[in-house]
Amino acid sequence: MISLQKYFGRGEKFFDLIEASADEARASILLFNRYLQTHIAGGPPANLDDFIQSRRKDKKITQQISEELARTFVTPLEREDIEALSVALYRVPKTVEKIVERLSIYPGLLPQAGFRRQGELMEKAADALVFMVKELRGGTHIERIAEAQDKLQWAEGEADKVMLALIKDLYHGDCGAKELFILQELYEMAEKVIDRCRDAGNVVVQIVLKNS
């Protein structure tokens, strides 16, 4: 077991902000899944304000972290690690907002099973990421981080399989070239959300290894 804070002194504010950013990343994915349920069911286009606000909220947290780094002499983790994790976490709601923007203007009906499965895997990846980030506070077992990373990587691997199967259906289906291009792009954007969670998780792992 490693203890980060005992070497770096007080640093609760940084842990508070990083954890808030991770929570906001997960919240954006939960919003996406609720949006997806309405969109797949053929409901009216959802208001994008919630996604915009979620991304802006996380951006504000990222800015707060930068400001705290600028005026704090002693930090609980290395400055570049705090900044790298902050940027990686912000990319999650930013990517979610982008895919919802595209989905909101897509006139067709989305394949239900495939997108729902992608949404489920996004949520599992976000859960693992939030756990990993919150383990940083006050010390952590490397084994616990490794176990959570395995779950995150599993979600990424499953998402790759789902995307490949969806694209295969497109190639063997009877949709036109325009629809094929649009749907393939949407599938890839959904899969990228999980990639963003993985990237942030990898930063956590590097932080833990560096301080072990």
Establish if 49 belongs to a structural domain. Answer: yes
Establish if 4 belongs to a structural domain. Answer: no
Nearby residues of 72 by Cβ (< 8 Å), 6 or more positions away: 13, 14
Domain, as residue range, for 77: 9-210
Q: Total structural domains in the chain?
A: 1
Of 198, 194, 195, the closest CA to residue 29 belongs to 194
Establish if 86 belongs to a structural domain. Answer: yes
Please state, rounded to an integer, the average pLDDT across all residues of the chain.
Answer: 86
Establish if 3 belongs to a structural domain. Answer: no
In tens, the pLDDT along 49-59 reads 888 888 889 99
Establish if 206 belongs to a structural domain. Answer: yes
pLDDT at 8 over 60: no
Establish if 164 belongs to a structural domain. Answer: yes
Establish if 2 belongs to a structural domain. Answer: no
Q: Out of 5-9, 99-103, 122-126, 196-200, which region has the weakest mean confidence (pLDDT)?
A: 5-9
Task: Give the pTM.
Answer: 0.86
pLDDT at 177 over 60: yes
For residues 72 and 91, the model is more confident at: 91
* C-alpha dihedral sign at 91, 97, 99, 102: negative
Establish if 1 belongs to a structural domain. Answer: no
- Residue 2 pairs with which residues in a beta bridge? 140
pLDDT at 2 over 50: no
In tens, the pLDDT along 63-73 reads 999 998 888 88
CATH number at residue 76: 1.20.58.220
pLDDT at 199 over 50: yes
